[in-house]
Chains A and B, each alone.
Chain A
Amino acid sequence: GESVGLHLPTLSVQEGDNSIINCAYSNSASDYFIWYKQESGKGPQFIIDIRSNMDKRQGQRVTVLLNKTVKHLSLQIAATQPGDSAVYFCAEINQGGKLIFGQGTELSVKP
């Protein structure tokens, strides 16, 4: 199956700091991207999405940036809280309509 089967990189931040999670996507033709949060033992939870005709989108405490030139996505979480500790995945919908996940990053928030 498609995905990257590597072990997850980790990011550790102090409570109250801002977090930036990065993701590289593979298909330059993909036109829709989503960030998901996954807590241990649960399915992924939608955070925010962005279409390829945008380069920035803001939600509540979260911002997604899209750089199509280098095929890069980032998720910024403002004022990170302990409840934000989880694994974060970017995902893209490719030309065939498939939802493909990136590698993921484990975020750990220190109180």
Chain B
Amino acid sequence: GAVVSQHPSWVICKSGTSVKIECRSLDFQATTMFWYRQFPKQSLMLMATSNEGSKATYEQGVEKDKFLINHASLTLSTLTVTSAHPEDSSFYICSAREGQVTEAFFGQGTRLTVV
């Protein structure tokens, strides 16, 4: 299957700082990228959907000013957690898809710990 690379795989940051997570599709053009958040022993919760060159669509309850998403090219999307707090600690996962109704490929995930 296609490869999606997510970086970093884990990060520890101080409360109040910002963290950027990158998601790259390595061998296909990702017209759509999804960002998810996952707490232990729970399902993946969709945070936002981004299409290349346009603003991300955020799910209800997700603060767009706190979770900044940029999808500037067909191979790269970034999620920036601004002014991170301990409650933002979670596993963040990106997914990329080429086309409208096709399978989506997932990155390895990023474990964010805010101390």
Given contacts A1-B59, A2-B59, whether A101 and B43 have CB atoms under 8 Å apart is yes
Of B12-20, B70-78, B80-88, B93-101, the one contacting chain A is: B93-101
Q: List 12 A-B contacts (CB under 8 A).
A: A1-B37, A1-B61, A2-B45, A5-B39, A5-B42, A36-B106, A43-B108, A49-B103, A93-B101, A98-B49, A99-B95, A104-B43
CA distance A49 to B62 in the complex (A): 29
A6 to B60, Cβ gap below 8 A? no
Partner of A8, one of B42, B47, B60: B42
Partner of A43, one of B49, B61, B109: B109
CB of B6 closer than 8 Å to a CB of A:
yes
CA distance A49 to B1 in the complex (A): 13
CA distance A50 to B77 in the complex (A): 28
Partner of A99, one of B61, B104, B109: B104
CA distance A56 to B84 in the complex (A): 45
Shortest C-beta distance, A86 to chain B (Å), equals 13
Given contacts A1-B59, A1-B62, A2-B59, whether A43 and B106 have CB atoms under 8 Å apart is yes
Q: Which residues of A36-64 are within 8 A (CB) of B? A: 36, 41-46, 49
Question: Which residue of chain B lies nearest to A103 when distances are taken between CB atoms in the complex?
Answer: B43
Q: Which of B39, B47, B105, B106 has its CB near the most chain A CB atoms (within 10 A)? A: B106
Question: Which residue of chain A lies nearest to B60 when distances are taken between CB atoms in the complex?
Answer: A1
Shortest C-beta distance, A75 to chain B (Å), equals 15
Residues in B with CB closer than 8 Å to A31 are 101
Interface size for B (C-beta < 8 A) is: 34
Question: Which residue of chain B lies nearest to A8 when distances are taken between CB atoms in the complex?
Answer: B41
CA distance A58 to B37 in the complex (A): 30
A7 to B41, Cβ gap below 8 A? yes
A46 to B1, Cβ gap below 8 A? yes
Residues in A with CB closer than 8 Å to B60 are 1
Question: Which residue of chain A lies nearest to B94 when distances are taken between CB atoms in the complex?
Answer: A43
CB of A25 closer than 8 Å to a CB of B:
no
Residues in B with CB closer than 8 Å to A96 are 49
CB of A77 closer than 8 Å to a CB of B:
no
Given contacts A1-B62, A97-B100, A99-B95, whether A42 and B43 have CB atoms under 8 Å apart is no
